[in-house]
Amino acid sequence: MINLRYLTLSLAIASAFSVPAQAQSLVELYDAARGFDASYQSAKAQYEASLYRAEQAKAGLLPSAGLSLGANRSNIGSDVPSIEKTFGSQSATVSASQPLYRPANVATAEQGKKSIEVAKAQLQAADQTLIVSVSQAYFDVLASTDNLTFVQAQKAAVSEQLASAKRNFEVGTSTITDTREAQAKYDLVLAQEIAAENDLRVKKLSLDQVTGKVGAAPKALALPVTIAPVSPDDVNLWVADSEQSHPSIRQAQLGLEVAQLETQKAQAGHKPTLDLVGSYSLTQNNGSASSAADYRTNVASLGLNFNLPLFAGYAIQNRVKETLALEDKARNDLDGAKRGVAQATRSAFFGVESGLGQVKALEAAEASSQSALDATKLGYQVGVRINIDVLNAQSQLYQTKRDLAQARYNVLLGTLKLRQAAGTLGMDDVRKVDDLLVKKAP
């Protein structure tokens, strides 16, 4: 007969060894990953670079100025000494220009603004991907820890059942078959324990790699677990939200707008340009070829520069055709992004809905498996059940517990993936998962 107190103690001991004292929450490990993950840091640097690129694009609309300095020295030599002369000059010129009408520069400046929005969308997508990656590694460790805990608990239960079968065989109340069946079960669960320990080590290494921490240890879910249903519960509302907020769609939309601006730049090749220009020049002459007197020259100018392209070998016409084709490409990319996001959102939504149903079914199965085990143990005591029946009932209970724990993790991770698919995943969603974890001891 299995000692229930021994089983309870085994589960408690296994849980104590599987949950480190300094466990971290999902928020803590996510914060650590943000400062470590190369992909996220790359997107962040790209966003900062885009800010400066946008400022560069504005330069074509702003005035420009320059300063030039010059000095020269001349020497005239001749066989006649009176003709030999040396003279020089120094000059300084300040020039400035202000674009008045340059439509291509206006389009370039607008493209710079769009590049900032594209970088924002890329940074948001990288952030959401990081949240899912950390959460996946986090729940993988929890699931692997639970699996090891249940395997160790089953090992303790099978060990007790094996000892009981041996005692019954010695006193002649059972056959050798019961002992051999219990031994086979024990050997099997021992192999499962070895595999579970290795799997846990691998999962912990993966979590360390994502977060950049050594010995990262996630907090377990606080039991009993109450997982909120999907809200809103209409998949069409999720799809509608995704079209407005998903980073991929925003990038594709911005890509189309940039392509349209590129067409405007190409069409501007037919248009004139007008600039306001001015300069001021000062020249100091120390003599000249015809005079030894020093003199200074001041020249100031202000005017307009007008330029009208007449013919460029059909380069402008073909550039316009090229950009129009690229517009069509960007438009098709946008349609493809919308379809892909809608499909991913629907799949994620139905996955979470299915997962919630599995959790409810497994919770009922857990209660049923526990009742079945209790009844089987009672039948074993009165002689209407054999040892293998008890062992099978134990295996079914622990398998159900493991599947239930895994199903809960899948739902929580699926909820995060659903929000990622819809483009709304953020820090608040991570905190909601954190609220379901074990709190720190007071």
Domain edges within the chain: 4-62+103-156+183-272+312-434
Instruction: Give the whole-angstrom CA distance, residue 10 versus residue 393.
Output: 18
Strands 85-101 and 294-307: unpaired
Nearest to 301 by CA among 111, 95, 53, 119: 95
What are the structure tokens assigned to 281, written together? 């020049």
Length of the chain: 442
| Whole-prediction pTM | 0.82
Query: Which DSSP string corresponds to 231-263?
Result: SS--HHHHHHHHHHH-HHHHHHHHHHHHHHHHH
State the DSSP string of 280-305. Answer: EEEEEEE--SS---EEEEEEEEEEEE
Contact 227, 412 (CB under 8 A): yes
Task: State residue 330 phi and psi, 5-degree precision.
Answer: -65, -35
Residue 323 and residue 258: Cα distance in Å, rounded?
10
Long-range pairs for 39-45 at CB < 8 Å and ≥24 separation? Answer: 39/126, 39/129, 39/130, 40/126, 40/127, 40/130, 42/126, 43/119, 43/122, 43/123, 43/125, 43/126, 43/127, 44/123, 44/126
Whether the link from the prior residue into 81 is cis, omega within 30° of 0, is no
Q: Degrees (nearest 5) of the Cα angle 406, 125, 232?
A: 60
Q: What pLDDT tens digit does each residue of the chain (442 aa) get?
A: 334 333 443 444 344 334 444 788 999 999 999 999 998 999 899 899 989 998 999 999 999 999 999 998 877 766 666 666 777 889 999 999 999 999 999 999 999 999 999 999 999 999 999 999 999 999 999 999 999 999 898 888 888 878 877 887 887 766 788 788 888 888 998 999 999 999 999 999 999 999 998 888 899 998 888 888 998 999 999 999 999 889 999 999 999 999 999 999 999 999 999 999 999 999 988 876 566 677 888 999 999 999 999 988 899 999 999 999 999 999 999 999 999 999 999 999 999 999 999 999 999 999 999 999 899 889 878 877 867 787 788 888 888 999 999 999 999 999 999 999 999 999 999 999 999 998 864 3
- What is the spatial distance between Cα 248 and Cα 417, in angstroms, rounded to a whole number? 15
Domain at 4-62+103-156+183-272+312-434, CATH homologous superfamily? Outer membrane efflux proteins (OEP) (1.20.1600.10)
> Hey, what's the torsion of the CAs at 156, 159, 161, 167, to 10 degrees?
-140
In the numeric block, which tokens belong to residue 4? 């229930």
- The span from the CA of 431 to the CA of 410, in Å, is 17
CB 135 within 8 A of CB 221: no
For residue 85, the cross-strand partners are 76
Instruction: Give the whole-angstrom CA distance, residue 267 versus residue 46.
Output: 30
Sign of CA dihedral 344, 348, 350, 354: positive
* DSSP designation for 214: T
Q: Could you give the CA distance from residue 284 to residue 70 in angstroms, rounded to a whole number?
A: 10
Q: Name 283's bridge partners.
A: 91, 297
